[in-house]
Amino acid sequence: MDERTALGLVGDRLPAAGDDAAVVDGQVLTTDMLHDRTDFPAGTTRYTAGWRAVGASLSDVAAMGAEATAAVAVYGAPTFAEAELTDFLDGASDVCEAVGAEYVGGDLDGHQEFTVATTALGRTDDPVRRSGASPGDAVCVTGTLGRSGAALRLFERATGERDDGERTDSERDVREPADGERDDLERANALFRFEPRVATGCVLADYATAMMDSSDGLSRSLHQLAEASDCGFAIESPLPVDEAVDDVATDAEERLELGVFFGEDFELVFTAPEEALPAVREESPVSITRVGTAVESDVTLDGDPMPDRGFTHGE
């Protein structure tokens, strides 16, 4: 059973689990687990890990159109190094501060692999689900796509390794990076630290008919929205691919891969009535790009079938 099938099983058994997050009496609750081998490439700082791990859960809160209130995390590692733990706490606290939430602690656990389990809380009386899109709605995304994919290429370039799932904590930082590699690592970490779109999600709560975050990639997110809403999407180029992708992609195929299929960008993918777009753009604190239109069936890119492919843990 793959991850997506397993999530479907959970959703069938537990309807209250919701979409990106569960909503119980106006309280939004979501949890995520990130691992060293699958989520933190070699060269990821503990500050970035803290920011990114907690940010992933805060992004789920944003996708429900909710206000973020607080977050906690479980930090597991082979050893507890003071500098690493302090950096992690700083990153977790700073990403919460960036969206008006509070980081309130968590738990520590000895673990053979650096692992973080995070939980975020939010509040909304009118959550945005994935199931409300209708033919004729505009399909939009926040910000730009491909930042995490570009970061991965920079991590690989700086450390000289592909992320094959076999690395352990003890194999990190086996040599001091050269100046150029150090620059790549700094830029990669900066790209990996995204700002959860909580403020924009709250704006979209008044306009969006369906919404989720793009942690699995734009393409897979569109397929998930289409399935939940029983419709299709006609997507058209150009897409808002981040300029960092152009700096690392070797050709148009890799640019598409990093921008559309890689995932882990945590932007919001949403539908809204076309007439609402001027107000959405005026009120949103980040850029909004229309990428297509909701249609009766099928998900296409420039008229061709858009593969249902994206980020999956363990692949």
Q: What is the DSSP letter of 285?
A: S
pTM (two decimals): 0.90
- Rounded distance between C-alpha atoms, residue 63 and residue 221, angstroms: 12
pLDDT at 166: 44
**Among 77, 75, 76, 73, CA closest to 119:** 73
Domain architecture of the chain: domains with CATH: 3-123 (3.30.1330.10)
What percent of the chain has pLDDT above 70? 87
Going by pLDDT thresholds of 50, 70 and 90, the confidence category of residue 176 is: low
H helix or E strand, kind and range, residue 192: helix 179-192
Strand ranges (DSSP E) for the chain?
A: 22-24, 27-35, 67-77, 102-110, 115-123, 138-142, 210-213, 232-235, 268-272, 288-295, 299-301, 304-305
In Å, the largest CA–CA distance within the chain is 56
Q: Beta strands 232-235 and 115-123: pairing type?
A: unpaired
- The sheet carrying 232-235 orders its strands as 210-213, 268-272, 138-142, 288-295, 232-235, 299-301, 304-305
Cβ 107 vs Cβ 75: under 8 Å? yes
**Among 90, 82, 182, CA closest to 73:** 90
Give the pLDDT confidence of 19-36 residue by residue, as tens digits.
789 999 999 999 999 999
- Rounded distance between C-alpha atoms, residue 74 and residue 105, angstroms: 8
For residues 55-76, give the mean pLDDT: 98
